[in-house]
Structure 1
Amino acid sequence: MALPLTDTTRLDNTLAVIRTLREQGPVARIDLGALNGISPATVTSISAELLQQGLITERPPETLRPSGRGRPKTLIELSPTAACVVCVKLSINEIQLVVGDFAGQIRHSEYHTVPTLTLSANALERLLEEKISAVCAQQLQSFQRLAGICLAVQGVVSSHSGTIIWSPALGLRNVPISACLAERFHCSVLLENDANCIANLLTAQPAYADCPNLVVIMLGYGIGMSVLINGEPFVGANGSAAEFGHSKYLPNGALCACGRRGCIEAYASDYALYRAAVNHLELPPGDSAHPSEQQMQALTQLAQQGNPEAQRIYSEAGQALGYGIANVLALFNPDLVIITGSGVRGFDAMKAAMHSAIDEALVTELIGNTRIESYAWDRDMTCMGGIAMALHATDAQTLLDSQTAREA
């Protein structure tokens, strides 16, 4: 019989085993113990319970070594169908729904074009309920349970109260959304800033294990930032901390999507770059307020080919970005600043001006040893990060549900 999950040491060890398997894939029991500082006997006991509950499976034993010595290792891995989570990414006039399995892998993804800027609070709630219900009806039969939902939203959100405070994707503010969805779908609902989802995914990578003080800047339609201090995200009193894009570059400067002037976003975001270029350069037609990837790729290509106007626009964007990063270095002294997002396509055209601005803004001692590097946006990491956060938040409940179901 399984030990009660009120045994906190036992629960912590069990969660550690699950999360190691999710991060590393199939692992032998003896290696799980070494990785987590757990005795072999405890790992054996925990894995036996997880097998009985259907949360892990065993792979066939490895092939014997040519010498014939030693028993082959039996690897265990998470059962992907034990649970699933749904991540919903809310963007301007688009929502993406992604289903992630218990192992943290994407099993389904779909996009819907929606006039998000015209939605009322009730209409937004109905839309999300409708789309999540539809994807659950289509996908849920492949899983034992729906563990949770993550809403990944650009802008200012309060994760604690489940309220979208402000987002450029919406024409309204202070929208409580998590509670109604949790009641409708009978599961945990996380509301997260999209940059925090990306940072969560990046910080799990071994390459950044030695960077507990980390800043992730996301370039795209808007500009977001996530700050980790000693490995923990800093979100502030109401979730509005680290709004890098809405810190000032030039008082009374260019108009920002937030309605104020002179924000960094008003110079270095996609809509700002396109706005500065559209009357001077020949670019693909489209909605100039919400430029497409095709439009932005065309603008970036002009800068890379040496077009002086395109280069000037990206240089000013790099300067705005650099002065903003200088403030971040002076305030937080991070180990590393990672610049990513779809807007990183134009980073090479911004880089020189960005570094010049940092050098001009700060004495060498304040720049210190902080590394600044870009991270390729070859996949959308927002939903992958949202899946990881939702699974992490619901693992304990999944354990309880699976144990209760087995004992019923």
Structure 2
Amino acid sequence: MSLPSTDTSRHDNILAVLRTLREQGPVARVDLGALNGISSATVTSISAELLQQGLITEHPHATPRPAVRGRPKTLIALDPQAAYVVCIKLSINEIQLVVGNFAGQVCHSEYHIIPTLKLTADDLVTLLQEKVSAVCAQQQGKFQRLAGICLAVQGVVSSAYGTIIWSPALSFRNASISDHLVEYFNCSVLLENDANCIISLLAAQPAYADSPNLVVIMLGYGIGMSVLINGVPFVGANGSAAELGHSKYQPDGALCACGRRGCIEAYVSDYALYREAVHHSVLLNDETTHPSESQMRSLTQMAAQGDPQAMRIYAEAGRALGYGIANVLALFNPDLVLITGAGVRGFDAMQEAMQHAISEALVAELVGSTRIESHAWDQDMTCMGGIAMTLYATDSQTLLSTNERA
């Protein structure tokens, strides 16, 4: 739900310069031209305009190497204070707010424990308005403007209409959220599935540049998935495509958080693993449906040390995940399947059963050359991806606003 913007050839060139600086960091003008196929004269003109608007800064001359003759290059970089965005990650009983500056760097993060399942749609809107307002008050004077907000949600959302269709973190359905925030904050608001935020960040990494048909599976409290086909997100008719966690592994099987039985999530998610561990007395029951990170790491460690019940639990999870991935391979034939999320901590304990299930489910020709890899979850990529998506979506509006101010 972005505010309108202009679209001209020069405008596109300016956006290309901004985004290259965000990806690369400080770059010399001559190199910016080569990276974007823009003439040196055009880059010089654009950089002069952006300097005047306060969107970029000049760095001191790079120190030349002793053997290199001639004048050193002057580097230009985005001014981090030109604008900021706020990404809100909404998950069960928790919200995280992260502030990203104009260069895409995180400069503030905070968590709040909230009984999300008790909220009405109006309660959620009021809560988000209060929390984002408080964060913006903290940032007052540090930035030129608030460029946009991203709300990253577990579950099914309609990005086009700004509607949360269904989320395991909430008790209500089909609620319009974005319009209220747009009106309240007078800025662009993106509503995204959390897995889509993650795949946008991973797809931009050089290591995966050769994988335009990319599938990212997120393991954690729930099971999420996002799909790129020829580099374009596949979201389906109403945003509910790629819900791997709620495809079926075993009819009439274990109970899923969605209320149905036999979903892959009901075997692979953190709450499913914890439920099995408590049932078989592998872990003590602390009467929670939302296990802590320390509890899940304890379970993973027990499996790694050879505890037979813990190994069995992860083997069953790996088998369920393997059958889910087999369906993905047969339907999408991706270049790469990346498995990430907090639940990737248990990937090693699942991997053997997962690979066996894929081989059992598919002929080798359907597996083909698709690579299946894990990606470390050493930082929460949801908010990082949300920040990047919001900056990308609001760069045009930032340019327009700075032009109007000038």
TM-score, normalising length from structure 2? 0.97
Q: Are 2:167 and 1:162 aligned? A: no
How far the C-alpha of 1:63 sits from its partner, in A, is 1.9
> Which residue is 1:380 aligned to?
380
- What SS is found at the alignment partner of 2:373? strand
- What SS is found at the alignment partner of 1:291? coil
In structure 1, what is the Cα distance between the partners aligned to 2:215 and 2:232?
Answer: 11
Following TM superposition, the consecutive aligned residue runs of length 4 or more in structure 1 with deviations greater than 6 angstroms are: none
- What SS is found at the alignment partner of 2:140? helix
How far the C-alpha of 1:172 sits from its partner, in A, is 1.1
How far the C-alpha of 1:67 sits from its partner, in A, is 3.8
Residue identity in the other structure for 2:65: R
> Which residue is 1:115 aligned to?
115
In structure 2, what is the Cα distance between the partners aligned to 1:338 and 1:159?
Answer: 23
> Which residue is 1:231 aligned to?
231
> Which residue is 1:320 aligned to?
320
Matches within 5 A, 1:70-85: 70-85=70-85
For structure 2, the residue ranges without an aligned partner over 5 or more in a row are none
> How many aligned residue pairs are there?
402
In structure 2, what is the Cα distance between the partners aligned to 1:46 and 1:285?
Answer: 62
Q: Are 2:315 and 1:336 aligned? A: no
Instruction: Please tell me whether the aligned partners of residues 282 and 310 of structure 2 are also in contact (alpha carbons under 8 angstroms).
Output: no
How far the C-alpha of 1:286 sits from its partner, in A, is 3.2
Q: Are 2:147 and 1:126 aligned? A: no
> Which residue is 2:144 aligned to?
144
In structure 1, what is the Cα distance between the partners aligned to 2:360 and 2:392?
Answer: 42
Instruction: Please tell me whether the aligned partners of residues 274 and 283 of structure 2 are also in contact (alpha carbons under 8 angstroms).
Output: no
In structure 2, what is the Cα distance between the partners aligned to 1:240 and 1:105?
Answer: 30
For structure 1, the residue ranges without an aligned partner over 5 or more in a row are none
Report which stretch shifted further, 135-144 or 85-94.
135-144
TM-score, normalising length from structure 1? 0.97
Instruction: Please tell me whether the aligned partners of residues 278 and 285 of structure 2 are also in contact (alpha carbons under 8 angstroms).
Output: no
How far the C-alpha of 1:283 sits from its partner, in A, is 2.4
Cα 1:345–1:7 shift into 2, 3 Å: closer
In structure 1, what is the Cα distance between the partners aligned to 2:112 and 2:158?
Answer: 25
Instruction: Please tell me whether the aligned partners of residues 254 and 262 of structure 2 are also in contact (alpha carbons under 8 angstroms).
Output: yes
For residues 121-153 of structure 1, what are the alpha-carbon distances to aligned partners after superposition, in whole Å with 9 as ceiling and x for unaligned? 111111111100111011132000000000000
In structure 2, what is the Cα distance between the partners aligned to 1:134 and 1:329?
Answer: 45
In structure 1, what is the Cα distance between the partners aligned to 2:347 and 2:228?
Answer: 23
- What SS is found at the alignment partner of 1:250? coil
In structure 2, what is the Cα distance between the partners aligned to 1:174 and 1:356?
Answer: 39
In structure 2, what is the Cα distance between the partners aligned to 1:392 and 1:193?
Answer: 17
Residue identity in the other structure for 1:349: A
In structure 1, what is the Cα distance between the partners aligned to 2:92 and 2:195?
Answer: 15
Q: Are 2:271 and 1:274 aligned? A: no
- What SS is found at the alignment partner of 2:279? coil
Q: Are 2:295 and 1:288 aligned? A: no
Cα 1:345–1:286 shift into 2, 3 Å: same
In structure 2, what is the Cα distance between the partners aligned to 1:29 and 1:287?
Answer: 60
> Which residue is 2:304 aligned to?
304
> Which residue is 1:402 aligned to?
402
Instruction: Please tell me whether the aligned partners of residues 334 and 370 of structure 2 are also in contact (alpha carbons under 8 angstroms).
Output: yes
For residues 52-103 of structure 1, what are the alpha-carbon distances to aligned partners after superposition, in whole Å with 9 as ceiling and x for unaligned? 1000001001123324611101111000000000000001111000000000
How far the C-alpha of 1:285 sits from its partner, in A, is 5.0
Matches within 5 A, 1:1-400: 6=6, 8-67=8-67, 69-283=69-283, 286-400=286-400
How well do the aligned residues superpose, as a CA RMSD in angstroms? 1.1
- What SS is found at the alignment partner of 1:142? coil
Report which stretch shifted further, 134-143 or 375-384.
134-143
Instruction: Please tell me whether the aligned partners of residues 215 and 336 of structure 2 are also in contact (alpha carbons under 8 angstroms).
Output: yes
Residue identity in the other structure for 2:223: I
How far the C-alpha of 1:7 sits from its partner, in A, is 6.0
In structure 1, what is the Cα distance between the partners aligned to 2:140 and 2:106?
Answer: 14
Instruction: Please tell me whether the aligned partners of residues 286 and 292 of structure 1 are also in contact (alpha carbons under 8 angstroms).
Output: no
Residue identity in the other structure for 1:76: I
Residue identity in the other structure for 1:303: A
